[in-house]
Chains A and B, each alone.
Chain A
């Protein structure tokens, strides 16, 4: 019987079958393996487990600016208890924090400071703009304030002036749901910011 060689179209079922066979055999290495992992269109259980872990152990950064900071302190207090969800560990150092809750108005003097702190946070990181002043200009539409969207990516905007602690809680839980559902949830995808990753010398850029 003559053996025929047919070119296998990449992405076809046969190609994927062969890939899966190689994966199970442990024949993948290096770049191929990475590419395969990136191409997997179904979220694996591992991804979901990691997302679950990340979403339930967010460390907010202590970043109170103005009146919303007092309501953020109320969220930590006993009536609306953020510790129920595991988020009571507010870290002072941005290097140890995941979540930046911008509570309060960002003045033009403070905006570069906020940006620098956000840059110092390690990925994955999220930001909540709490209150009307940081989401849009709020009550004060004047020369002195910057809305946070202009200089840093925000994941959840919580309106209110100041938002009730329950409202902030709702915003935080929404963010938690976002993290749980989509482990690839990178702000770079949503803000078309591919290419802004920090690339170490001689290695591939980290995922999207």
Chain B
């Protein structure tokens, strides 16, 4: 090409000599040649469209630079254009494996701004769906990670359970993914008859299935060799990088927002937090596998203790009135009209609300200016912050370990790029 693009010109200016000199200094003068490879954005192993610039010395990774933005959807700006209840479907599609969590954190933030009480039954229903989503997210993680490591049949087993969970979601809300089930003030609809029975069937078999996965994987020699002792990172560095969730718990820090700052009635339930010791890939794997059992326990307790009552707040300025009231009550009609056309207005203020998603602390910042549309919605996505830990983890490991670490990191590019 006669005219060089700025991209090519920039590429030619990339020199690896500082890094090479650094390594040579460490080795007492023995020079080496480094190779920078581009992994992605289209690559069978990356979880989503993640691009990694990997600087290699032979097979060992010396430096890693993630390049993101390939799924950037402008969700936060779209949310500013929509009424508060219309933001919920938009924001759900962010971290697309934990959609209930996205909806929960946004609804929680708006409910705090509105000072709106969520009835107890709605809180328990929310907990049930959140924990089902957590199990589902861990199942997809397990299936795809095992696929990356070569244990291909795990994919089918995990997706078998995932189909059962999606059937439950379809039962309660009508959609498999991105269900729009959580609304500001509660949930959109009560669970139908038969949901409880089906859910009890599921929680009866799920621990057995998780045992099957553990049997398949936990003592598998290949898996152990690929995960044990590979890419550990200590707690201090993780805390400095802002990493939370199973990654931090694998390093030994039992920080879990469900226990530390309980929201939505989590304090009523008894469950344990699995914590790792070394912080290597195997601990990350084991922590997530153990969390599945704990989530099943939470669902069972929530189902046993499910109180009667309304499933959404009674405040008609925030939640739609039940449909039968529209025929008899004039106020119900007016409320319905106002809520559907304009939406409720939120008093001006700013709030940051955080919950524990399957990947770590998911936070939502909402700024309202008194109108019916939010002025700013920002989601503090855990994968976005956790991705910064990839580079310290894989420096000095092999490329195959890089793939395994990326799998154990559980990044969801929808959340990273928003």
Contacts and interface: CB of A to CB of B under 8 A. Distances in A.
A150 interface: no
A185 B97 CA distance: 37
Interface stretch (B64-72, B246-254, B395-403): B64-72
B39 to A, nearest CB: 12
A66 B78 contact: no
Contact of A143 (B70, B74, B156, B162): B74
Contacts of A107: 69-73, 417
Interface string A138-180: 0111111100000000000000011010000000000000000
A113 B48 CA distance: 14
A67 to B, nearest CB: 4
B74 A145 contact: yes
B: contact size bracket: 35 or more
Nearest to B157: A78
Interface in A51-69: 62-67, 69
Given A77-B163, A161-B178, A109 B44 contact: no
Interface residues of A, number: 35
B42 A113 contact: yes
A66 B156 contact: no
A71 interface: yes
B414 interface: yes
A142 B48 contact: no
A31 B57 CA distance: 55
A33 interface: no
A62 B44 contact: yes
Given A78-B160, A110-B49, A65 B71 contact: yes
In this complex, which of B49, B78, B89, B155 has the most chain A Cβ atoms within 10 angstroms of its Cβ? B49
Contacts of B178: 67, 161-162
Contacts, number: 102
B90 interface: yes
B41 interface: yes
A70 B71 CA distance: 15
Interface string A112-147: 010001000000000000000100000111111100
B329 to A, nearest CB: 33
A109 B74 contact: no
Contact of A77 (B77, B89, B90, B159): B159
A66 B95 CA distance: 9
Contacts of A73: 140, 143-144, 155, 159
A113 B70 contact: yes
Nearest to B70: A110
B177 A71 contact: yes
Contacts of A65: 48-49, 70-71
Contacts of B394: none
B42 A117 contact: yes
B73 A140 contact: yes
Interface in B30-51: 41-44, 48-49
A109 B67 CA distance: 11
Interface string A81-95: 000000000001010
A110 B71 contact: yes
Nearest to A78: B156
Nearest to B143: A73
B42 A66 contact: no
B48 A64 contact: yes
A70 B159 CA distance: 10
Interface string B405-418: 00000000110010
Contacts of A145: 73-74
B44 A144 contact: no
Nearest to A62: B44
A149 B132 CA distance: 37
B93 A139 contact: yes
B140 A66 contact: no
Interface string B68-100: 011111110110000000000110010011000
B176 interface: yes
A161 B78 CA distance: 17
Nearest to B82: A139
Interface of A: 62-67, 69-71, 73-74, 76-79, 92, 94, 104-105, 107, 109-110, 113, 117, 133, 139-145, 161-162, 164
Given A78-B163, A113-B49, 15 more contacts: A65-B70, A66-B73, A70-B140, A73-B140, A74-B159, A77-B155, A92-B44, A94-B42, A107-B70, A113-B42, A117-B42, A139-B78, A140-B75, A140-B78, A144-B73
Interface of B: 41-44, 48-49, 69-75, 77-78, 89-90, 93, 96-97, 140, 143-144, 155-156, 159-160, 162-163, 166, 176-178, 413-414, 417
26 contacts: A62-B44, A65-B71, A66-B48, A66-B93, A67-B93, A70-B96, A70-B97, A70-B177, A71-B176, A73-B143, A73-B144, A73-B159, A74-B163, A77-B155, A77-B159, A77-B163, A107-B69, A109-B70, A109-B72, A110-B71, A113-B70, A117-B42, A144-B74, A145-B74, A161-B93, A162-B178
